[in-house]
Structure 1
Amino acid sequence: MTKKKTKDDGSWGKLIRDIAVILLLVLAIHSCVAKPFYIPSDSMMPILRNGDRLIVSKYPYGWSYASVSFHLAPKMEGRLFGRLPERGDIVVLEHPLTRVDYIKRVIGLPGDTIQLTNGELSINGKPVKREVQPMLAIPVDRNTPGPDSSLSRFVTRGADGKELLEIPIVRETLPGGASFDTIDMGPGYATDDYGPYVVPANHLFLMGDNRDGSADSRVPAELKGLGGAVPFDAIAGRAEIISFSTDGTAKWYNPLSWFEALRPGRAGTDLRPVRAGD
């Protein structure tokens, strides 16, 4: 009896150790290499939609407390092998106050002067190049437009009678050559006029591509915005690629619905901005 009990105890001990090793390995990969990320809103449309799943790399900017997944690390200053993002990068960050994960685009670097006038962005006194694009039509589904989205007023019907989201697109080109599409819903929004604001040292100014529907550096923290530029240490990683995207119809108890809910053409979308010379 004693031998059998010892053997069983050893088996349980090995199982617990194996589980612990697996959990530590997952945590290490999530914190140091890459992790998945879910888009829950329309703030980064048109490039990202509610329901997209991304791969976020952890190493391009070095590591800080924000790199540790599940917000397990205490907040502290400093980065290991830190390297500033480039203007135009899409980054995941911890909100400096709430520690909730946000995803935004880097617009201003330390020392930059940021200003918006009637929705038009200027950096260091120079207007950012803007090119109006044709209206973008996106099929409406349960995830698009997202909950309480400011884009709902752009829902219309196509020739086939199906609902479409037709949104106004403006392509911006930042200093350094990064180009990407934004949504400009027209005048009358509180975030259309901002600054001038000088980005402090070791901080980044972040904005959503849905310029009139994003709680970003232009929006006070009490309104769920970032309340100005965020510390570089709060950046957790860089958005790289869309792994898959769902339309909101999947049911957890029906595996077949998981495949039926996949949006075609979203997987594999590169999230790095086009840069001059690419």
Structure 2
Amino acid sequence: MDFDFSFFLLLATVVTGAIWGGYLLIHKSATDGLAEEKEPLLVEYAHSFFPIVLIVLLLRSFLAEPFRIPSGSMMPTLLIGDFILVNKFTYGIRLPVINKKVFELNEPKRGDIVVFRYPKDPSVDYIKRVIGLPGDKVVYENKKLYINDVPVNQVSLGRYQGLGQGQEMTGAEHLVEDLTGIEHSILIRDGMPSGQFVYVVPAGNYFVMGDNRDNSNDSRYWGTVPEENLVGKAFFIWMSWDWEHKGIGLDRIGTVLK
């Protein structure tokens, strides 16, 4: 069990619901036929907050959850300071806190941008792109991907011009990569180690990488993501705020992720 925000949100829902519900049961039996009395202050607070925390818990657990991008590992697709929404039900319905799946839906597809609990520290959420599915042979050589011995097509767009806190990536090679029909941008840095490997993805696991290939802590270094660690699929940028540079990125708000 993770003692994260979901845990405290569930705890708040249970506590406020118990206080309000308990008061109603006791008060009703004690005051049958008598005039209504004003609720005690604690019960009044519980009465006010219970519906709010319950709705937030349900929305956040089963529909969509907001996340903020803290690093440049998914540049140029996601920038530092982007606020995204993550679909919580696309890969199945899970119970909050214990993260037990109770309803199967879709499975991740190659190219999906996923949020997951970091396998080495499940209290930390990571965001990367799915590169390899269960059973796939993934090869990374000279900064090029091969999936099941088929090279992944890459087309260069020239040199990247970084924005805001991502200015350090100015000059990196900007490419469009085609993961079996899912086209997305990646960055490659000249002179950086390529991290060559050959890897066969185990059953029930997913091989993930950042779009900022030479500046991403991903499956190349710590292995695959177990299915039970998946949180959801990122699908929308609802706000973008660069604290150190341009402020609100109006051009990024409303971007649908792919």
Instruction: Give the TM-score range, shorter chain.
Output: 0.7 to 0.9
From 222, 241, 246, the equivalent of 1:246 is 241
Residue of structure 2 equivalent to 1:270: 256
Q: CA deviation at 1:104?
A: 0.3
Post-superposition Cα deviations, 1:38-70, rounded to whole Å, max 9, x if no partner, equal 0000000001000101111111111336xx3xx
Matches within 5 A, 1:150-229: 152=168, 154=169, 165-175=170-180, 177-189=181-193, 191-195=194-198, 197-219=199-221, 227-229=222-224
State the alpha-carbon separation in 1 of the partners of residues 171 and 239 from structure 2: 23
Contact 1:64 1:234 in 2 (8 A): no
Contact 1:62 1:81 in 2 (8 A): yes
Q: CA deviation at 1:171?
A: 1.2
Residue of structure 2 equivalent to 1:89: 112
Residue of structure 2 equivalent to 1:261: 247
Aligned residues: 224
Higher relative contact order (CA 8 A, sep 6+): 1
Contact 2:113 2:128 in 1 (8 A): yes
From 53, 60, 65, the equivalent of 1:23 is 53
Change (3 A) 1:206 1:98: same
Segments of structure 1 that go 5 or more residues without pairing to the other structure are 146-151, 155-164, 220-226, 251-259, 273-278
Q: State the TM-score, normalizing by the size of structure 2.
A: 0.79
Aligned-residue Cα RMSD (Å) equals 2.3
- Deviating above 4 A after TM superposition, structure 1's stretches of 4 or more consecutive aligned residues are none
Segments of structure 2 that go 5 or more residues without pairing to the other structure are 1-33
Q: Secondary structure at the match of 2:110?
A: coil
From 144, 148, 151, the equivalent of 2:166 is 144
Which structure is larger by alpha-carbon Rg, 1 or 2?
2
State the alpha-carbon separation in 2 of the partners of residues 7 and 188 from structure 1: 69
Change (3 A) 1:179 1:113: same
State the alpha-carbon separation in 2 of the partners of residues 21 and 210 from structure 1: 42
Letter in 1 for 2:116: L
